[in-house]
Structure 1
Amino acid sequence: MHFKTWILLAGLTGLFGAFGLLLAGPTGMVIALLIAVAMNLFAYWNSDRMVLSQYNAQAVEPDTANPLLRTYYNDIAELAQRAGLPMPGVYVIDSDQPNAFATGRDPQHAAVCATTGLLQRLDRSEIRGVMAHELAHVKSRDTLTMTITASIAGAVSSLANFAMFFGGSRDDEDRGGNIIGVIAMAILAPVAAMLVQMAISRTREYAADRVGGEISGDPQSLARALHKIEAYAQGLPNYDAERNPATAHLFIINPLHGGGMDNLFSTHPSTENRVQALIRLAQEMGGRRSGKTFTAVPTTDMG
């Protein structure tokens, strides 16, 4: 899984450099890569604060008077210990849609965040399964990988916009006959960057499901949670996510819609594929209910 991720990330970086080369020659390639480095450094140091601020996330303290939040905090502390991780920052978002994400550049500077909808609509074992999945992202440093991926993909899109403007302002003679190639790259590069970004996201979700199931010791609960979150997401919008679609890949289920096919244009794997993988993991772990069939939450229960 990690090898595939880094191969895809290397391909995305190569695409960025190639775009700079086509746009302005060797100098353009160097400038493009320097921009990418600067963006990644900024994202490395500030990604957690940026994402938490975008969602107006509120910190949860261990001595909170809210019993639901106290249980949430204590369960994360236990799961982090089981995973061999330092205690992450614990946050909550005021959103009816059940969902969760992790952020931070490394396990020492990590944060996990759940929505109020997750804490109110799922049972405790399912919440533990979801948060174990998020801690798996922290353990595997996926949050940093996805931040870098998003930064490079965003830079490719920015270069594409510049190329369209720059290409349209110069005639074929000035561009040395290369304008067609620049315009083609300007159209195709962002699409290719998006596909690579989505492929990396899907790869890391499968891995986090497996590691999260091992951390919690209960892959079945995570499987049930995935079905429930997907069903709720179809009817309960996450308005902050709609305003910040570039962060959709951080969530355990795509907050912009209620699921999606496991194809090139999906930021997340098919929920059913993930559930089947978790059932197989439960069988490997000797789960007593490995043959259980999971069903989505009835729409009548979603308010």
Structure 2
Amino acid sequence: MKTAVLLAGLTALFGAVGLVLGGPRGMGAALGIAVLTNLYAYWRSDHLALAAHGAREVDRSTAPDLVAMVADLAARAGLPTPRVYVIESAQPNAFATGRNPANAAVAATTGLLAALDRDEVAGVMAHELAHIRNRDTLTMTVSATLAGAIATLAQFGFLFGGRGDARPNPLIAMATAILGPIAAMIVQFAISRSREYAADREGGLICGDPLSLARALERIEAGVRRFTSPSAESHPATAPLFIVNPLAGRGIDNLFSTHPATRNRIAALEGLAAEMRGSAQDRTGRSSDTSGAGPPRRGGPGPWG
């Protein structure tokens, strides 16, 4: 519901900016350009994102444990097994991409596979599979289309909008041209943050152990502070894809942040774990260890191949 409201807000904002600056004709032209640009990005998003980070595909012969884990979690989630990639980077992180579950991929950095134990890696992969199941790539593409259209319309509308008496007041036009794209960016980031919370919750349910995902987020946050990702710094537009913001100088959980604060996500996962324990007690009348539903423990971090 929150995502639907935010998308509706973007649509309304687009209409308001269009009427102020471009009129109906300019609004239609800007939307057409933005749609064409983002349609290309949507169909090629997986290839573009993976290539930007130098990801290499792995299989059961080159990374048997990781690929088998992803296949098992995908089966639990009712999804086709996505392609699996590894990124050579000391920074622990991961992301999912692809326009739909049938054309999806998950990628993990070598830093993540080295720093996290098996249960924690399973929690991260389950989080990424939740993004795939929720079709968050489609949601973010729609929001990017509208935000891009607003920015394009604001630029062209300010320069060329209206003629003669139809031209808007210069001060109003300038304020709209500046504030419109900023407002669109804020709404787009809010959509991204809401999808992260949803993927955390569903990921915890898929792997059966929300606390493993919570521990993974804590370790990833510490690793991101320690290691810089050159590929992410070179392609900052891909930052919302990652489970934790990979960029240096990250913001806190505010209007301009692409991700919720990690501490807030951990608190939500701890709440989910408590819910799951309560449900288990209601069913059995005794305490149940929710971590037992997760993948078998092997102890210790990687290597994963």
Shorter-chain TM-score category? Answer: 0.7 to 0.9
Aligned residues: CA RMSD: 2.2
Q: State the Cα distance separating 1:53 from its structure 2 match.
A: 1.6
Q: Is the 8 A contact 1:47 1:147 kept in 2?
A: no
Mapping 1:105-144, distance limit 5 Å: 105-144=99-138
Structure 1 gaps, min length 5: 291-303
8 Å contact from structure 1 (residues 56, 93) kept in 2: yes
2: CA distance, partners of 1:257 / 1:271: 15
Moved more, 204-213 or 141-150: 141-150
Deviation at 1:164, TM superposition (A): 4.9
User: 1:132 touches 1:213 (CA, 8 Å); kept in 2?
Assistant: yes
d(CA) in 2 for partners of 1:98, 1:116: 7
Asked if structure 1 preserves the Cα contact closer than 8 Å seen for 2:201 and 2:269, the reply is: yes
1:189 matches 2:180: yes
Displacement after TM superposition at 1:232 (Å): 1.0
Amino acid at match of 1:152: L
Aligned length: 281
Write the deviation string for residues 42-96 of structure 1: whole angstroms up to 9, x where unpaired. Answer: 23311111111211211112222xxxx2211110011000100001111111111
Q: Are the aligned partners of 1:253 and 1:259 in contact in 2 as well (CA < 8 Å)?
A: no
- Contact kept? 1:15, 1:189, Cα under 8 Å: yes
Instruction: Choose from 128, 137, 141 the match for 1:147.
Output: 141
- Matched residues, percent identical? 59
Residue 216 of structure 2: aligned partner: 225
What letter corresponds to residue 216 of structure 1 in structure 2? Answer: C
The 1-side partners of 2:226 and 2:76 are apart by 35
CA contact 2:101–2:132 (8 Å) conserved in 1: yes
CA contact (8 A) 2:97 2:132 kept: yes
SS in 1 for 2:29: helix
2:239 pairs, out of 240, 248, 264, with 248
SS at match of 1:285: helix
Residue 194 (structure 1) shift: 1.1
Question: Residues 265 and 164 of structure 1: is their aligned pair in 2 closer, same or farther, counting only changes over 3 Å?
Answer: same
Matched position secondary structure for 2:174: helix
Alignment pair present for 1:93 and 2:87: yes
Cα drift, residue 269 of structure 1: 0.9
Counterparts of 1:1-303 in structure 2, within 5 Å, are 3-64=1-62, 69-166=63-160, 176-257=167-248, 260-286=251-277, 288=289
Q: Read off the aligned partner of 2:13 and give its amino acid letter.
A: L
Given that 2:93 and 2:220 are in contact with CA atoms closer than 8 Å, whether structure 1 keeps it comes out as yes
Report which stretch shifted further, 172-181 or 109-118.
172-181
Q: Residue 84 and residue 180 in structure 1: after superposition, are their counterparts in 2 closer, same or farther (change >3 A)?
A: same
Determine the C-alpha separation between the residues in 1 that align with 2:243 and 2:21: 37
Could you report, residue by residue, the CA deviation over 1:133-188 in whole angstroms, capped at 9, with x for unpaired residues? 00000011012211232333233333334345447xx9x95763532222111100
Structure 1 residue ranges, 4+ long, deviating more than 3 angstroms after superposition: 158-167, 172-177, 257-260, 287-290
Local SS of the residue matching 2:96: strand
**Structure 2 vs 1, CA of residues 37 and 17 (structure 1 numbering), >3 Å: closer, same or farther?**
farther
1-side partners of 2:275 and 2:168: how far apart?
60
The 1-side partners of 2:43 and 2:103 are apart by 10
Per the normalisation by structure 2, the TM-score is: 0.85
Counterpart CA distance in 1 for 2:208 and 2:181 is 40
1:14 maps to a residue whose letter is A
Residues of 1 paired with 2:95 and 2:211: CA distance?
20
1:105-127: per-residue Cα shift (whole Å, max 9, x none)?
11111111111111111111111
